[in-house]
Structure 1
């Protein structure tokens, strides 16, 4: 049974996915052993996972894809997409006849292989629409925070990592970063010693590189949450059309709502995509009428998620997150 302390631990890890258990314990007013024990249980039960991810600006542009398929083939096509390491957030929507997903290709060739070759040649695919992400609202105030008992502003401030006093220059990814990033993408809380074992680097070199990538905004730590297990089983994707002059205002406003898990400015027939997670359909209705309805939105299409197949990096087993394959190790 997930209780208030569990939910606050989850919220704390959302603020800083690499926060030491001792700091979380001090902020919540419980023992370090309590935090460690409960976190291990939440991980084992498939409720949460911390991932180390690169920002969209650090790689090729991300894409969101809507694939209309023959209903009988939707499950098989979704499962095949979910197995691809460059594809995330795979969901069945629109009565089971549509698949939505996100892809973050490392190279133009990888992008073209999926969008121009693999998917169009799949016989079960009726059509697809690809939206390039121009701007994504990620991290900090843009995280989903629909907790029943969220942390206070003071607690959030105590857990928020210190920002560098001077802005770091953009930091390009190096080919040697591949193993480090692959390891963090499977478990963002791996220790420096564990990361050293994966990369073949010294612990000090690992620590310096993680700190540098993080300070430059190239690397961030995201908390995957099995929201249904926290009492929020209703998810939906909103596709909004707004006037160009209103894009920044509407995007920023919706991204800061507690129910919003992800917001992006995209190309295509709409210009904003928003993912929301709610307690029930009545909650979703109020979000659409009260929050979205108060903004200068010209058009709105809502697709409820019937089944989540994959999140940012975790395949789903019903409502639970599954453990990924172990990260590759240098020399193997």
Structure 2
């Protein structure tokens, strides 16, 4: 059995001071990254505490906005349509108001205030190229928007749902691997309208009970349970556990746009995916044909990351950097200044353009 006493000497059942996550909190988030819907009883033995303690801890983290589990369409469902990072330049005094406005768009997966060649950076998902085109054109018609630049994703080498906090021992990770919501995956198919209804029902709380979902949708629990299993095991939707990054010790993040020779693009994307700080890596259709979203403990870690990338990919050139000033929205979650969740605007790639 594994016991926890946090860096401040906290016991497993104690509540950490505001503004930090203790070791058990971080281990719990790490465990839910591996097995987002696992029952507390299954997580109790690897984490070394009882199920009731885990349930209480998670309730506190969820209710305070310090951690959450969300659900969204798998990258395979939108790259057939369009997934893109969109740089937005705007009237300086309108930055915050515009960011809040764009965060309410269901097509905007994430909205960041950034330092770099643009003011805002959006991650946008649309089910079809036509919807993506319409969304970008609509952005340009907003009065305070000066310019946009769109980077269409060709391939996701690493999705942020695959990133893990390093808060568990090797033995704990091995124990949890048996619990992980994985196993044999069926062939990926296209999301059906029924799938999308179920996906949206899970967006705000990916651990929501089958009973609750069935009551909302007016369907038998057995039907919802089978549909949910098919949705997740079929690879059509992704569950992701996230945390308020500042509370978890990740003080900075950045998006790097890089260029490599086309013949090396696939291998370079895979190499970036292996770097510890890489949250997301993707090939894009632009002069900068490779991008990486990086989470850092401190801003000066960015230079070390670039050195690591260059050591692995000798031909890589960094063409641009967007350093995060503040997350306004991340994968559907509205975030406060301290990174805690304050609400949810579900990501809906099928939403019509307003």
- TM-score over 0.5 for the pair: yes
Q: In the TM superposition, what whole-angstrom CA distance separates every residue of 1:21-50 from its partner, at most 9, and x where no partner exists?
A: 111111111110111111111112212111
Q: Secondary structure in 1 aligned to 2:280?
A: strand
Residues 121 and 162 of structure 1: CA distance in aligned 2, closer, same or farther (over 3 Å): closer
Partner of 1:137: 157
Mapped to 1, the partners of 2:246 and 2:284 lie a distance apart of: 27
Partner of 2:102: 81
Aligned residues: 322
Partner of 2:43: 24
Q: In the TM superposition, what whole-angstrom CA distance separates every residue of 1:112-161 from its partner, at most 9, and x where no partner exists?
A: 33112x11112322221111111113459x733343x3342413423323
Structure 2 residue ranges without an equivalent (≥5): 1-15, 348-354
Q: In the TM superposition, what whole-angstrom CA distance separates every residue of 1:35-93 from its partner, at most 9, and x where no partner exists?
A: 11111111122121111111122242211111122221111211111011111220011
Give 1:156-167 correspondences, 5 Å limit.
Answer: 156-164=176-184
Q: Please say if residues 27 and 158 of structure 1, whose CA atoms lie closer than 8 Å, have aligned partners that are also in contact.
A: no
Partner of 1:7: 26
Taking structure 1 as the reference length, the TM-score comes to 0.90
> Which of 305, 308, 311 lines up with 2:324 in the alignment?
305
- Superposition deviation, residue 175 in structure 1: 1.8
Residues 17 and 110 of structure 1: CA distance in aligned 2, closer, same or farther (over 3 Å): same
Q: Secondary structure in 2 aligned to 1:228?
A: coil
Q: Please say if residues 241 and 271 of structure 1, whose CA atoms lie closer than 8 Å, have aligned partners that are also in contact.
A: yes
Deviation >4 Å, runs of 4+? none
Partner of 1:70: 91
Give 1:190-201 correspondences, 5 Å limit.
Answer: 190-201=208-219
Q: Please say if residues 30 and 165 of structure 2, whose CA atoms lie closer than 8 Å, have aligned partners that are also in contact.
A: no
> Which of 336, 341, 350 lines up with 1:317 in the alignment?
336
> Which of 132, 143, 146 lines up with 1:123 in the alignment?
143
- Superposition deviation, residue 163 in structure 1: 1.5
Residues 326 and 137 of structure 1: CA distance in aligned 2, closer, same or farther (over 3 Å): closer
Q: Secondary structure in 2 aligned to 1:161?
A: coil
Say whether 1:252 aligns with 2:270. yes
Q: In the TM superposition, what whole-angstrom CA distance separates every residue of 1:90-123 from its partner, at most 9, and x where no partner exists?
A: 001126951101111234553233112x111123
Partner of 1:154: 174
> Which of 276, 286, 291 lines up with 2:294 in the alignment?
276
Residues 308 and 325 of structure 1: CA distance in aligned 2, closer, same or farther (over 3 Å): closer
Say whether 1:57 aligns with 2:76. yes
Taking structure 2 as the reference length, the TM-score comes to 0.84
Partner of 1:264: 282
- Superposition deviation, residue 296 in structure 1: 2.6
> Which of 102, 114, 119 lines up with 1:93 in the alignment?
114
Q: Secondary structure in 1 aligned to 2:24?
A: helix
